[in-house]
Chains A and B, each alone.
Chain A
Amino acid sequence: MELKRRDFLKAGVAAGTALAVSGPSLNAFAKGHEHAAKGAMATEAGNWVPSTCQGCTAWCPVEFFVQKGRVVKVRGNQLSKANNGYCCPRGHIMLQQVYDPDRIKVPMKRTNPEKGRGIDPKFVPITWDEALDTIADKMVALRKAGEPEKLMYMRGRYSPISTELLYGTLPKIYGTPNYFSHSAICAEAEKMGPGYTQGFFGYRDYDMAKTNCLVIWGTDPLSSNRQVPNAINKFGDIFDRGTVIAVDPRLSASAAKANEWLPIKPGEDGALAAAIAHVIMTEGMWSKEFVGDFKDGKNLFKSGAAVDESSFAEKQTHGVVKWWNIELKDKTPKWASKITLIPEKQIVRVARIMGKAGSACAVYMGPGVAMTPRGTYASMAVYALNGILGSVETEGGVFQSSGVPVEKFSKPDKFIDEVAKKHGHGKKIDGRGAKDMPAMMGAKPGSGVVTNNVANGMLKDPNAIKIFLSTWSNFVFSCTGAQRWEKAMAKVPFFVHMVTNASEMTQYADIVLPATFAPAEKLSIITNMANLHGHMSIQQPVIKPLWQTKAEETEVMWLLAEKLKAKGFANLYDYYASFEDPETKKKPTNAAEFCEITAKIASQKVWNGKEKMKGDQVAGWEDFKKKGIYNSETYAYKKNWGKFKTETKKFEFYSETMKKALAEHAKKHNTSIDDILSASGYEAKGELAFVPHYESPKRHGDAKEYPFTFIDHKSRLNREGRSQNAPWYQEFKKVDIGDVSWDDVVKINPGDAKKLGIKNGDTVRLTSTTGSITTKVRLWEGVRPGTVAKCYGQGHWAYGRVAAKDYAKAEPRGGNNNELLVDDYDRLSGSTARNGGFTGVKIEKA
């Protein structure tokens, strides 16, 4: 090939680029690995700079490729053990979020006092100074009026470290009990299974590199649920060693590849789990090492027959015979097949495959099991299978989370004044701890957040909240019964939203503060785990932000504290100003210094060399910023055997831990446990309340008027409901199997569609007892007749030009599932119900 004129020009540009990279301008932001351009064809010079993706709950350590101060590509952090150096499809979409044309550039204020969907807030740009002055004035006035408890803070996505400086500090020092996390609308009920059996109220990890049987239940790890890149990385190889079983009412991405798909009738998971346990027990396939055995070695677990507790000697578990007698003995596969609609033969076959894999069989339980109105018990029933298989902390099994050493910030106690003490501990408006809302997360009644109930609290008492601050949230879109949030938000006198885009919730804001897009623009420390390793990773400004954005949990808080101090309330500022750099001992004098000092304080243990770390060796703060990650040591098998954090220190099939917590809650309300359970909507009475067991699914909408059972599921491209404004999201929407690019569809079984006279591509109106949405139809064999499935994510009527069909007219692209799903709860955990077929819908041609 002859060299052309343009090649000379290009070579010149490349040389210039290489020079710019080695200069100081780029280094001012972050250091990374240099990629030198060479030869006539090559990628031009740039740096891979580490940061952390927060597009889902995996919180993946990633790297951005930076050329000329622009982010151009994304990959997993090459040193990460959690994601093996890969990001999932979500990671790449970050580029279109950074460069989203609809990013908020400057602080803005509302000039139209009228609030509601479709009403133009008439936002106008203001300075940061004016915005923060306005907020500080309101806050000082509310405190002076003696009602600081009427300030509410709600967090959406956050940094697990920086959140301590806002969520963990502001309400305490200011004096309000009303601060709430988004957590309970996500998957919190999942924690109840491992919590009340194993004493671990957390998200689990899996030895996917070694498992011989992966049972995916009510989740789709190839698409979501906390370790997507690791699941994708290890999934295909499991078939060479063993079996993948998927229990899901719809054909998920995982089910499409699995050896066995069990398309369970929504909400009947507890029945299937009980039957599988029944087979494993009657066929003698339980783990003798973990559970123990009959004293004389003879299996007395026979269908329908009670067993003498004294005949069995347990090892790491408690109450296996009680569980059998109270719940399992009559839960035959034949019984379960009628309820679950899974053929008896398949139940038995799957149970045997699981039993054969034994302690190398991991039951990967997800929100589909647990985020239902009676989800706690289903969560326990499915999770308990790991107990009888003995796959807790074993090769190929299920694990608690791995941690990393984080240095906590000094306590704000001495900055909490009398006003704050007096007003900071009142009743929270989320209703936790009420008789019918035990919210017993962590085995402590009244301790769990009931996120979605906040709207009900606000509607009940419109005077309860006068100032509402919220960050990276969109409850008007992301909560079931979304319409309630629209009503509640319209009544808030002063709402401050700190976000990247003008979302649905932003339409109700009085002041909007432009937030950094955290993965590329915010300095923070993130911790998480996967693949048997914990990690601490940095999140840092890999580029100079394009707009006047600020990090909401650190920079904005410092600036707000300065304003509050100037107006006579100095406590928050004094607390922040008491921090000091762990290396230089220097105290912060501005927002940027505060930001860096807090990141250094939290992360110091992994890089300061004072203590030899069991995982990676990091040489100092600069080295940490360059590597971007600390990986912990590998999780040791059987680490917690004999010391589970339950009442008995054992794996409890008969949950003494549950019994104690329920008794405590009943005592608080001067009533019986049975009364508590009945008030909270559970079926269990007596001893059944303390064992994993089957409860029938609750359904809103009678079968005659609302004949179809609605299944909500998650997109592998959802960045928590924020990526729909990215053209790549729309273009590849089809990777959610059964879905269609640049559209929103409800998946209907072709048999049902025929009866309704509906064709592929028709537009229909779905109606539940809560509301209606309009969407397209996709005929899909991957759903059972009588059920319809729809992915969450589309249906934005704000957020941006791509996400919404018409932003100015508040016209959605498709329909938001949360306008159909009913506001209901798994009340033992306080979690919002969104699964288990609890919402019936009718379908009409639109």
Chain B
Amino acid sequence: MPKYGMVIDLQKCVGCGACAIACKTENNTQDRADGQRFNWADFVYKEEGKFPNVKFAAMPVLCNHCTDAPCVKACPVKPKAMFKTPDGITMHNDERCIGCQRCQKACPYSSTDVDKDKAAYSVLSFNAHGGTTHPFYKDEKELIKDCTASGAQVAKVAGDMPPHRTLYKHPEYESVRRSGITEKCIFCEHRVKNGEQPYCVVSCPAKARIFGDLSDPGSDVSKALKAHNSVQLKNNKGELLKAGEKGTKPNVYYIRSYKAEAKKV
């Protein structure tokens, strides 16, 4: 059985945002609302120093697909709505989910309200009970009556919600989630199972993301981890696990440095 993981090369990453927006197109995540971000791929930024000795770094973030996933432990449903697949993906079943948000509270990389928490991001987002997903495309307001469109009209004429919805099928997951449940990155399992890479990986113009089998020493992820020192995130405030600190055993690793140092001449 493979054990899937990701390595992000920060020397190659330029923080452009292509991965995060591409993820929204692949997974049809909605716009932020009420402290929920719905960005399965997002960023943490670090700023240090004073002008002109400023150090800035961007870190792309996503679900760490932890080996000791607290979200799975916290899920009260039987069988669990949040569970680990045999190949290490932290998977979520959207039919069994009861929307209790215990996973969101348990996950060190998530917040039930990102704004209140002053967190950089949240791996898990919650579609409010009784709410409507993608309200942007349900709004019937026309800015110029009979001349310009409305969100609802676009969705109707295009024929789906959201109108740019990418259709994929997955036994655990709808390509657009219903209200009253949490949602998160699933490592694009619908792609991976067909021999494709997750969409954030293929969309990275810098080729900064490496995805593969951590249990295979010949895989690109294993090779990258062997060639370079790596770090893992500790939480959604951007702190890192210290050497020897296991945390929840995240399976997303970061190698090399975002910023280059001045060279001696």
Question: Which A positions have Cβ atoms within 8 angstroms of B?
Answer: 1, 3-4, 6-7, 10-11, 13-14, 17, 37-44, 46, 65, 67-76, 83-84, 86-89, 91-93, 95-96, 98-106, 108, 123-125, 222-223, 228-229, 232-233, 235-237, 239, 243-244, 251, 253, 256-261, 263, 349, 352-353, 356, 501-502, 512, 546-547, 716-717, 727-728, 731-732, 734-735, 737, 742, 749, 781-785, 800-801, 807-808
Contacts and interface: CB of A to CB of B under 8 A. Distances in A.
A105 B149 contact: yes
A239 B168 contact: no
Nearest to A37: B169
Contacts of B95: 4, 6
Given A125-B146, A236-B206, A257-B260, 13 more contacts: A41-B170, A43-B196, A98-B164, A101-B137, A102-B149, A105-B147, A239-B260, A253-B16, A547-B149, A717-B17, A732-B21, A735-B43, A742-B32
B16 A88 contact: yes
Interface centre among A14, A42, A807 (most CB of B within 10 A): A42
B166 interface: yes
B171 A3 contact: yes
A664 to B, nearest CB: 44
A346 to B, nearest CB: 9
A236 B12 contact: yes
Nearest to B13: A236
Interface in B1-24: 9, 11-18, 20-22, 24
Contact of A801 (B21, B47, B143, B208): B143
A1 B261 CA distance: 50
A71 B160 CA distance: 11
A65 B202 CA distance: 14
B175 to A, nearest CB: 8
A232 B162 contact: no
Give me the 6 closest cross-chain CB pairs, A-B, nearest first: A236-B12, A735-B17, A86-B205, A44-B167, A95-B164, A99-B163
Given A41-B170, A69-B159, A502 B148 contact: yes
B149 A502 contact: no
A500 to B, nearest CB: 10
B179 to A, nearest CB: 17
25 contacts: A41-B193, A72-B25, A86-B18, A86-B203, A86-B204, A86-B205, A88-B205, A99-B163, A125-B147, A223-B16, A232-B18, A236-B9, A236-B11, A236-B14, A236-B206, A257-B14, A259-B260, A259-B261, A260-B262, A353-B263, A716-B16, A728-B24, A731-B39, A737-B15, A781-B50
Contacts, number: 258
Given A108-B144, A260-B262, A547-B149, A96 B16 contact: no
Interface string B24-42: 1110000110000001000
B56 A251 contact: yes
B194 A42 contact: yes
B259 to A, nearest CB: 6
Contacts of B139: 101
B157 to A, nearest CB: 5
Nearest to B50: A781
Nearest to B96: A4
Given A75-B203, A102-B143, A546 B158 contact: yes
B194 to A, nearest CB: 5
A89 B18 contact: yes
B76 interface: no
Contacts of A43: 166-168, 190-191, 194, 196
Contacts of B133: none
B162 A99 contact: yes
B262 A259 contact: yes
B227 interface: no
A105 B153 CA distance: 11
A67 B143 contact: no
Contacts of A263: 51-52
A67 B166 contact: yes
Contacts of A103: 148-149, 154
B150 interface: yes
A228 B32 CA distance: 27
B263 to A, nearest CB: 6
B130 interface: no
Given A42-B169, A735-B15, A232 B51 contact: no
Interface in B197-224: 199, 202-208
A253 B11 CA distance: 13
